[in-house]
Structure 1
Amino acid sequence: MSHDLVASSATSPAISPGPQRALPELAAATSESRFARLTLTITALAFVALFLLLPLAAVFTEALRKGIGEFVMALGDAETFSAIRLTLIVAAIAVPLNLVFGVAAAWAIAKFEFKGKAFLTTLIDLPFSVSPVISGLVFVLLFGSHSLIGPWLQSHGIQILFAVPGLVLATVFVTFPFVARELIPLMQEQGSSDEEAALSLGASGWQTFWFVTLPNIKWGLLYGVL
């Protein structure tokens, strides 16, 4: 029996150490050198400092140029208070609208198959591809005094441009993709097995949404709203 084992071991192919030798080579091929990592890190930090931190520092420098006392006094100015109030009003209107639209669009795209799904996805990405300057021009062409509906709006005392409705429309258009774009990949990754299980147990559509879908997406929804 020992002779058979010796013979079989002599005739059996040896295990090649190729994969073990290839691991360091693979690691070297998929990793960057220290110089490359340092260069990329410095470039990224310089970009952030130039386009984010430097303008932010300039804003605070100008605001506090005359001292903290002057800054506090400016907060009590009537025009400053009006600007802050207007910003809060627009946000209080735009954020809930974006919340409802984003959840509904993400739920429809991620959980269902229907005609026009690709078109809806394209519309959600539209503000990312259209300049805010162009969108502002479109609002002027739609609601301006020389537009098709401009004279009718003026005759009925309705002001869209340079008023709260125009600010809300512009803000909603620019920001409505954020909630939907945050939720769509999250919902697609989660799948629809939980919803199908809830429906099979007798839950209604609203019960499934409130007690199954919404708890699963709460953190992504919060991030999109913020």
Structure 2
Amino acid sequence: MREKIADKKERILKIIEIFGKVYSDADCTLEYDNPLQLLISTQLAAQCTDKRVNIVTKDLYKKYRDVYDFANADELELREDIKSTGFFRNKAKNIIGCCKMLISDYNGEVPREMEDLLKLPGVGRKTANLVRGDYFGIPGIVVDTHATRLSNRLGLTTNKDPKKIEMDLLKLVPEEYQTSFCHQLVYHGREYCPAARPKCDICPISELCPKVGV
């Protein structure tokens, strides 16, 4: 029998309550001091771990201190600076292009609005939602690999497309929990629900999970 939206909402509130206790300190694991750094770090995190990105950006943000430094960077040199994050050619090109557009179109500032963020090279909905939620405090759903896997296993969506998953979760997760819930999914995915061999026997939300596809 197909679960009704109202029942899903009730179930997700129970999950959120448990997550709030188990992952009370869940936050973005990327290290940044301002919205530009968060924007760039999130781009670097594509197909790369946050841990590796934080190692790279520790020196990167000392070398390139603002949007003008990145916009005027030598692309070949920037490639070398970020090489260990993978896909460094495309990332370097996008970062420079992104910062040039920030200067030309947004007075060197990172915009708040989704439509503006999505115009920037290398910025998709995942990056835009993360910057909006974590820096500007605007509710939204960040769909990464953890959110994709867990939202399907939890029976919150049947979609694999990130934008469709985002839209499904927006209907279920109250605005005030959206940003924290996405971080909690990452923590939960790492701790209890990896792609291979999920730890259902000790999972704190096991009784609330239909374990779809497990």
TM-score by length of 2: 0.23
Higher helix share: 1
Structure exhibiting the larger radius of gyration computed from Cα positions? 1
